[in-house]
Amino acid sequence: MERRKLGTTDIDVTSICLGTMTWGQQNSEAQAHEQLDYAIDERGINFIDTAEMYPVPAKDETQGRTESYIGSWIKNRGKRDDIILASKVVGRSGMVWTRDDTVKTTRQTQEQINYAVEHSLKRLKTDYIDLYQLHWPDRGLSPFGMHSYEDYDADDMVPLEDILGALQRHVEAGNIRHIGISNESAWGTMKFVALSKRLGLPRIQSNQCVYSLIARRFDYDRAEIAMREKVGLLAYSPLGMGVLTGKYDDGTAPEGSRGALFDGFMENYKKSSDAWTDANRTARKLALTPVQFALKFVESRAFVTSNIIGATSLEQLRENIDAHEIEWTDEMEQEADRLHKTYRCPLGR
């Protein structure tokens, strides 16, 4: 299992990260533990990503279950030092159930960050989180699926230096080791880097964003930042919510899939069916499975620190990990480039 440096830290993470957002909704606690055992003990993965709002779809009655499932695994197995554990604090949202009854909107204030860190640590049953990420910006910026820029009230945002200062207190207390961002813009990324340098505040080490064969906007600006500033990409949704597996190619949603379980969840992906069906046909033409083509493409990018894969069954998890074992060739690169030039990022930031 290949390992890559996490930003400027001394931490080496595997190039595959185990995603967990289905645990507590589509997966039981026992299944979550089974996936952790397999990924860590049998396949050598050391990087686990979660979030306070998980599982997805986010709702009051399930919030925090995913972290709790990981916490019970840590308590039962006693393998905390064997993993690099990442979690996230929500940005500006109406998901007030993640806080106490006094909050009308979730924000990345010192008080709310304190609350989030404290409760994540309790659910995870650990004294520290290796990588703590801002799940999306506090600013009035559309972080998911934005196709054109719309300005926001810059005065109505928690100053970035205040956010870093709030996180610094937890670094100093030993609650978190390093910090990262997620769904962040090029401007936000560079402002965080500059403020850290100027004010001596904790440095961001990663940016977790959507990235796949059909969602490559990260290439346009943040990839260069990732390379030059060592703020590597933690790529999520590398299979495009499942459309890059081939299981939706016939126009129907298989039983048990997110497309079948959650009404409207796949709506944006349906609009880009030409792109992902072409990607899947191309994979087969290359004598690959769609999963191999999609996942190895992401792992092969020089600016990617780790590729976050998720699965609802052990069989899927095994296939996803195996997909990274193929060799990426010039012919595959040419076909990936053709897809990008033809469809120009129909999905995601």
- Give percent of the chain with pLDDT exceeding 70: 99
**Cα distances (Å, whole numbers) of residue 218 to 4, 37, 52, 187:** 19, 32, 25, 13
Quickly state the pLDDT bin for 15 (edges 50, 70, 90): very high
Strands 204-210 and 232-236: parallel
What distance in Å separates the CA atoms of residue 256 and residue 127, rounded to the nearest whole number?
Answer: 36
What pLDDT was estimated at residue 333?
98
Contact 223, 186 (CB under 8 A): no
Residue of 249, 239, 248, 236 lying closest to 213 (CA atoms): 239
What pLDDT was estimated at residue 118?
98
Q: Residues 64-109: pLDDT tens digits?
A: 999 999 999 999 999 999 999 999 999 999 999 999 988 999 999 9
- Checking if the pLDDT of 349 tops 70, the result is no
- Checking if the pLDDT of 202 tops 90, the result is yes
What contacts 217, CB < 8 A, 6 or more positions away?
Answer: 345, 348, 349
- H/E element holding 84? strand 84-89
Question: Per-residue pLDDT averaged across 274-296, rounded?
Answer: 97
Quickly state the pLDDT bin for 345 (edges 50, 70, 90): confident
Q: Residues 106-126: pLDDT tens digits?
A: 999 999 999 999 999 999 999
- Checking if the pLDDT of 275 tops 90, the result is yes
What pLDDT was estimated at residue 271?
81
Quickly state the pLDDT bin for 348 (edges 50, 70, 90): low
What pLDDT was estimated at residue 34?
98
Residue of 288, 299, 297, 295 lying closest to 339 (CA atoms): 297
Bond preceding residue 254 cis, omega within 30 of 0: no
Quickly state the pLDDT bin for 254 (edges 50, 70, 90): confident
Question: Per-residue pLDDT averaged across 160-188, rounded?
Answer: 98
DSSP 39: I
Question: Per-residue pLDDT averaged across 230-259, rounded?
Answer: 92
Mean pLDDT of the chain: 95
Q: Residues 126-144: pLDDT tens digits?
A: 999 999 999 999 999 888 8
What distance in Å separates the CA atoms of residue 249 and residue 227, rounded to the nearest whole number?
Answer: 35
Global pTM reads: 0.97
First-to-final CA distance of the chain: 28
Quickly state the pLDDT bin for 260 (edges 50, 70, 90): confident
What distance in Å separates the CA atoms of residue 219 and residue 224, rounded to the nearest whole number?
Answer: 8
Question: Per-residue pLDDT averaged across 222-243, rounded?
Answer: 97
Quickly state the pLDDT bin for 257 (edges 50, 70, 90): confident
Question: Per-residue pLDDT averaged across 187-207, rounded?
Answer: 98
Structural domains for the chain: 3-343 (3.20.20.100)
What distance in Å separates the CA atoms of residue 54 and residue 13, rounded to the nearest whole number?
Answer: 22
What distance in Å separates the CA atoms of residue 50 and residue 208, rounded to the nearest whole number?
Answer: 12
- Checking if the pLDDT of 146 tops 90, the result is no
What pLDDT was estimated at residue 256?
81
Residues designated catalytic: 54
Question: Per-residue pLDDT averaged across 320-341, rounded?
Answer: 98
DSSP 144: S
What pLDDT was estimated at residue 347?
74
For residue 285, report the phi and psi dihedrals to the nearest 5 degrees: -60, -30
